Amino acid sequence: MTVPPPVRLSKSKFVAGVQCLKRLYLQIYQSELAAESDDGQEARLEQGNEVGRLAQSAFPGGVLVDFGPLELDAALARTAVLVDDPSVPAIFEATFRYSGVLVRVDILERCGRNRWRLIEVKSSVELKEHYLYDVAIQHYVVSGCGLDLSSAVLMHLNRDYIYDGKSYDPHKLFVIAGVTRAARNLAKDIPKLLRAQRKALAQASPPGVEPGPHCRDPYICEFFSYCNPDPPENHVSCLPRLSEKKRQDLLDLGITLIREIPDDFPLTEIQNRVSVAVRTGRAWVSQTLAKALAGLKYPIYFMDFESLFPAIPRHAGMWPYSHIPFQWSVHRQLTPDAALEHFEFLADDARDRRVEFVGSLCETLGRRGRIVVYNAAFESRRLRDLADWFPEFGDKIAKIQGRLWDLLPFVREHVYHPEFQGSYSLKAVLLALVPDLTYDGMEVAHGGEAGLIWERMIRDGLAAPERARLRLALLAYCRHDTLAMVNVLERMKAL
C-alpha cells in the first residue's frame, strides 16, 4: 500500500490517536475496515448537537461559524473576522489551524482585555478524565494561533437539574468545570504526542498494537471487530467472572477452550458448572431446581418495559438521562392449565404518557401473584421513578415492586447450557433452551433498537402507514420478550 503524504489532523483524529495509534492509522488509511455506523450512532450524534445548541443559548449574542467540513478556508476566515470584532461576545464552532492540526471550538467566549475562555461542551453528566485531551489539543492550537486564553472549561449536563416542563434554563441545565491547569499541563505534551502520531502515519502498514483494554476505553473502537475477531465457541473467555490473571494463566498453558481446562485448575463453583456442561455437551441443572420452581405460585405475570433515556429531559420532573417509560407488555397465566393472556401499552405520540403507562399497568397487574421479570433492577428503577413523579401511585407501585420475581439470577443459579456461550442474557438463554422462539427477522430485535424506533414513530410528519408499521414492530418486540420468559420458565420445568 502506498502511503499518502502527511495528513492534516483534527481534534477527533488526535483523540483517536491518544487512545490507540492503530485506530488513528486505520481511520485515515483503511476506514473501510470500520464497523458500519448504525442508527444508534446517528441518534447520539444528533443528541450531541441538541446539547450543543442548548449550551450556546447560555451565551446570548454569540455568533456561529456555520460552514461545512469542505469549507475550511471560509470557516478560518470567518473566525478571524469574528475574533477581531469586539462586539461579538462569543463564537460558536470557532475554527483554527496550527501546526497541521485543525480544531473547532464549541464555544469561545470573549472575556475582556483581549482574552478568551475556551469552552468544550459535553453531553455527559460528569467530568471524565479523557475529556481533558479534547480541551488540551484545542488549547494548544488556539494558543498557537496567537489568542490569549484566560481559562479552559468543560460544560457538561447537570445530573441534579429538574426540568419544569416549560422551558430550559441553560445556566442550571449545565455545570461549568474548570480544567485550565490540567489542559495547560497536557498541552505541554501535545508536540510529543503529535510526533508519535505522525510517525505512525508515515509507516507503510498499521502500527503493531495488540488488542487490550484500550479497545474499549474510553470508547469502543470502530475497528474492534477487525482487531478482535470472535473467539471460537466455548472459548475460556466464556467462563463467568473469569479474572484477567486466570485467563492469562490458561492462555500461558496453551489452553484456549473450556473443554481443555485440566481438572486441577482452580475454578469457582459457577465456572465449574460451565466447564462440566461444555465437556459433557449437556445442560447442567441444579438438584434444587424442581423444588425452587414449586415455590412459584399462580397467578403469574410476565412483565417487560421499554424506555428511552435522552440527554435532555423531555417532561416535567425529569432530569438528564432519566428514562421515559413508553411501553410495557404483560403475559398473565391464572393457573397452570389456564390459557395465556396478553396485555400491552404503547405511547404512540410525543405527549407525556407516563400516567397512562403506570395507571394501565397497575390495573393489569392486580393485587396478587408473582411478576416475573428478567433483570429486575431495571423494572424496579423505572417503577421507583414513576412513584417519585406521581406519588398518588406510590402505594400500588411499592406493592408491585414487592411482587417482582427475577428470572435472571434464577437461571444463573439453576441452569447452564453449553449454547449459552457464557452469557445469561435472555436472548442467549432463549436461543439455547427454546431455539424455535427466535428474534431473527424481527424489525426490532433488542431494547436499544426499540427506543430508536419509538423516536422515529412519534416524529412529526411521519406518514400514517409508516407510523402504523413501526407501532406493530414495537408491539411485536415487547410481546416477544415477555413470551420468551414464559417459554424459558416452561422449559426449565421440563429439565
Instruction: Identify the CATH number of the domain in which residue 162 sits.
Output: 3.90.320
Residue 215 resides in a domain: no
d(CA 409, CA 240): 13
CA 74-80-85 angle, to 5 degrees, is 125
Angle between helices 190-201 and 11-19 (to 10 degrees): 80
CATH number at residue 438: 3.30.420.10
> Domain of 469?
290-493
Given 182, 201, 220, the domain boundary residue is 201
Question: Is 377 part of a structural domain of the chain?
Answer: yes
Let me know the angle formed at the C-alpha of 34 by 36 and 138, rounded to the nearest 5 degrees: 105
Closest C-alpha to 301, from 323, 324, 329: 329
Whether residue 111 is contained in a domain is answered as: yes
Same domain? For 81 and 132 the reply is yes
What is the rounded distance in angstroms from the CA atom of residue 33 to the CA atom of residue 242?
30
- What is the reported pLDDT for 197? 97
Q: What single-letter DSSP state applies at residue 237?
A: G
Task: Judge whether 93 and 65 are in contact, CB under 8 Å.
Answer: yes
**Residue 438 counted as domain residue:** yes
State how beta strands 404-406 and 415-416 pair. Answer: unpaired
Question: Is 197 part of any domain?
Answer: yes
Mark 387-423 as b/e (b = at least 16 C-beta within 10 Å): bebbeebeebbeebbebbbbbbebbbebbbbbbbbbe
Would 242 be classed as within a structural domain? yes
Taking residue 434's Cβ as centre, other Cβ atoms within 10 Å add up to 16
Residues 393 and 447 in one domain: yes
277 and 299 housed in the same domain: no
| Helices marked H in 333-446 | 354-365, 376-389, 394-403, 407-414, 426-433
Cell 465449574, residue located: 272
pLDDT at res. 138? 97
Domains in the chain, number: 3
Instruction: Say if residue 14 is in the same domain as residue 62.
Output: yes
Q: Of 262, 281, 300, which marks where a domain is finished?
A: 281
What is the pLDDT at residue 68? 84
| Confidence (pTM) | 0.91
Split the chain (495 residues) into runs of 10 and give each run's mean pLDDT.
Answer: 66 97 97 88 90 97 92 96 97 96 97 94 95 96 97 97 97 97 93 96 95 93 94 91 91 93 92 94 95 94 97 97 98 95 97 98 97 97 98 98 98 96 95 95 90 94 94 97 98 93
Same domain, 62 and 177: yes
Q: Does one domain contain both 376 and 258?
A: no
The pairing of strands 101-112 and 90-98 is antiparallel
Cα gap 273→271, rounded to integer Å: 5
Could you read off the pLDDT of 65-104 as tens digits, one per residue? Answer: 999 888 999 999 999 999 999 999 999 999 999 999 999 9
Say yes or no: 189 and 315 in one domain.
no
- Name the residue among 140, 137, 204, 206 with its Cα closest to residue 1: 204
Q: Which grid cell sits at 433?
A: 433452551
| Residue where a domain stops, chosen among 158, 178, 201 | 201
Cβ neighbour number for residue 32 with a 10 Å cutoff: 6
Does residue 214 fall inside a structural domain?
Answer: no
| In contact, 184 and 139? CB cutoff 8 Å | yes
Same domain for 22 and 155, yes or no, is yes
* Terminal alpha carbon distance of the chain: 57
Sheet holding 324-333, edge to edge: 341-346, 324-333, 300-308, 370-373, 404-406
Name the residue among 36, 432, 434 with its Cα closest to residue 233.
432
pLDDT confidence of residue 41:
83
Identify whether residues 407 and 301 lie together within a single domain: yes
Check residue 319 and report its DSSP letter. Answer: -
485 touches 372 (CB < 8 A): yes
Are 240 and 309 members of one domain? Answer: no
Length of the chain: 495
Helix/strand/coil for 109? strand
Residue 212 included in any domain: no
Q: 320 CB contacts (<8 Å, ≥6 apart)?
A: 125, 157, 158, 159, 161, 173, 311, 312, 313
| Cell representation of residue 420 | 449459552
- In whole angstroms, what is the distance from residue 219 CA to residue 24 CA? 13
Residues 6+ apart with CB under 8 A from 468: none
Is 345 found in the same domain as 449?
yes
* Amino acid symbol at 90: A
Residues 40 and 22 occupy one common structural domain: yes
Q: How many CB atoms lie within 10 A of CB 456?
A: 14
